[in-house]
Structure 1
Amino acid sequence: MFLDNISKDTKVIYEKSYPLFLEGGKDAVLLIHGYTGTPHDMYYLGQRLNESGFTVCIPRLPGHGTNSIDFLNSNWKDWLRRVVDSYIELNSKYENVYISGLSMGGVLTLLLSAQFNPKKIALAAPALEAKDWRLKLTPVIKLFVKKLNRRKRINYEEEELNKLAREYWDYDWPPKAADLYKLQRLAKRRLNRIKSNTLIIVSKKDGAVPLSVADTIKNNISSKVIKTIVLEKSPHVVVNDIEKEKVADEIIKFFKGNE
């Protein structure tokens, strides 16, 4: 059964991988991390939003931040259900609930917006499209291969991040990439249902998501207010890298504005 595939020793690896909830004002922001990421990617943005008066919720997606076996035993339905529940809980208590997602979190944000119609959403490097052409092949590749070694391995100053890298980032995961591809297809079919005021942030230096994703979203959603920010220097994790201050400033301004 499902529980048999989860080790008794499973733990959250990194203290910043824990979900984060910061009580603030009457308006709340749901922040959604990306594929193989953890809440720590969203901590800086969350703290900035909270300092600006927002209540902030950053859930941990199932299978993320623990270990690769746990990751392989999670799927797109688990990830989507977690953010649906988080949105419903916030929307039951706070006057407005805005949503911002990074990468796959941006795809989940689009799906939530199509269903619940929040007033505003902010998409950070939304992985509705990918530069890696192999993603479209993963529904077939996953039948034969569970993981593939990556040629380039990165070493981090913090040992906990190295542990996460050894569990997640040193490999490609065809079965889970196929789940991401499934979410992309679901979101693309629902783009015309989205009416939320939308901020799209993309970067010229993003190695994972093409700039063209901004046009794909703009040309297909039904929102009256759509704003695009193009960064010059940031790699993929735009909310927690070289231009994170600018990203936070733009999202705060958008959520606090009169759009």
Structure 2
Amino acid sequence: MTASHEFFYAGGPQGVLLVHGLTGTPAEMRVLGKGLHSAGFTVHGVQLPGHCGTVDDLLQTTWEQWYEGVEKAAEQLRTRVDTLFVGGLSMGAVLSLALAARRPELVSGVGVYGATFRYDGWNIPAVAKLSFVLPWFKRLGIGRDRMFMEEPPYGLRDERLRAQISAAMLSGDSAAAGLPGNPWHALAEMGALSKWTRRHLHQVTAPCLVVHAREDDVASLGNAELVMTRVSGPRELVILDDSYHMITIDRERREVIRRSAAFFTAVSAGQPALPEVA
């Protein structure tokens, strides 16, 4: 069993559950968590099953287990707060939307940060875009030890932070910066999660704040547009011009905090839906 690297900041009666991405760690949500806590929210950064450990730890889990970890954390946080919001980065955004679709009575609003249904950003190699074959590879037991390695800029436009994160990631400290690549079989699970969530996006009735980098190197703006066109509830789109994929820690992290706090506060107060495009 991997050690826990979750974080919890006790605050007011509005709670936010934050969900990291595939092969990532709660650390990528900590800056946003601290910012939301400073704005008065109670915040829990969950650690997905199989993460923050070895590749084998990750490969022993499925997308259903990742989702169950999020749902369990949401239920626990809801016992402490009056209103629950959920926000996730990359695959964490997909898991957050899945929770809102499956458990609408739990979720009052969703922060959708760099949603990744498809790895189709400008820095994704062409071979990685053939991920539709990975489920077959997994069923046949092919490529269990193979992975797509992360490459610069590692989702970060901030060069100083990029150097720090890449050094930690390549050092083997997965708890600090995640794994250095995406295992093929984990990507197959990610594909199954994306497929399920896409089919159920229309069941998302909670207000959604969709934040995406215009030059996202991992997931194109088409992922954000998918959310905007398919969810049923009110939604607001915020496009960032000075960040790459890791928008919760990149150059515009303060803007992400500001817009998130304003959005969740407005929803908590029952204010009218914000405009769809900002």
- Answer yes or no: same fold by TM over 0.5: yes
> Structure 2 stretches of 5 or more lacking a match?
121-127, 155-161, 274-278
SS in 2 for 1:94: coil
2:41 is equivalent to residue 42 of structure 1? no
Measured against aligned partners, the alpha-carbon deviations of 1:126-158 in whole angstroms (never above 9, x if no partner) come to: 112320522222112333102136384778547
**Are the equivalent residues in 1 in contact too, given 2:2–2:51 (CA < 8 A)?**
no
Q: Shift of the alpha carbon at 1:170? A: 3.1
Query: What runs of 5+ residues in structure 1 fail to find an aligned partner?
Result: 1-9
After TM superposition, list the pairs within 5 Å mapping 1:88-167 onto structure 2: 88-117=75-104, 118-131=107-120, 132-142=128-138, 143-146=141-144, 147-148=146-147, 150=149, 152=151, 156-157=163-164, 160-161=168-169, 162-164=171-173
SS of structure 1 residue aligned to 2:99: helix
From 196, 207, 210, give the equivalent of 2:206: 196
Whichever residue aligns with residue 234 of structure 1, its letter is S
CA drift of 1:11 comes to 4.9
- Pairwise CA distance, 1:60: 0.7
| Residues matched between the structures, number | 245
Residue 97 of structure 1 aligns to a residue in which SS? strand
- 2:150 and 2:63 map into 1 onto residues whose CA distance is 26
Q: Distance in 2 between matches of 1:20 and 1:251?
A: 18
2:11 aligns with 24
Q: Which residue matches 1:79?
A: 66
Q: 2-side partners of 1:30 and 1:140: how far apart?
A: 33
Report deviation, 1:40: 0.1
**TM-score, with structure 1 as normaliser:** 0.87
The letter of the residue matching 1:112 is L
CA distance in 2, matches of 1:150, 1:93: 40
Q: Residue 67 of structure 1 contacts residue 168 of structure 1 at CA under 8 Å; is this kept in 2?
A: no
Distance 2:150 2:10 in 1: 42
Structure 1 residues 26-53: Cα deviation after superposition (integer angstroms, max 9, x where no partner): 1100000000000000000000001111
| Contact 2:49–2:65, Cα closer than 8 Å, also in 1 | yes
In the alignment, the residues of structure 1 paired with residue 229 and residue 235 of structure 2 have an alpha-carbon distance, to the nearest angstrom, of 10
Give the whole-Å Cα distance in 2 for the aligned partners of 1:129 and 1:95. Answer: 34
Identity %: 24
Instruction: Find the aligned partners of 1:23 and 1:233 in 2 and give their Cα distance.
Output: 31
Query: Is the deviation greater in 58-67 or in 47-56?
Result: 58-67
Q: Which residue does 1:4 correspond to in 2?
A: none
Give the secondary-structure state (helix, strand or coil) at the position aligned to 1:239: coil
Amino acid at match of 1:246: E
Q: Which amino acid aligns with 1:218?
A: M
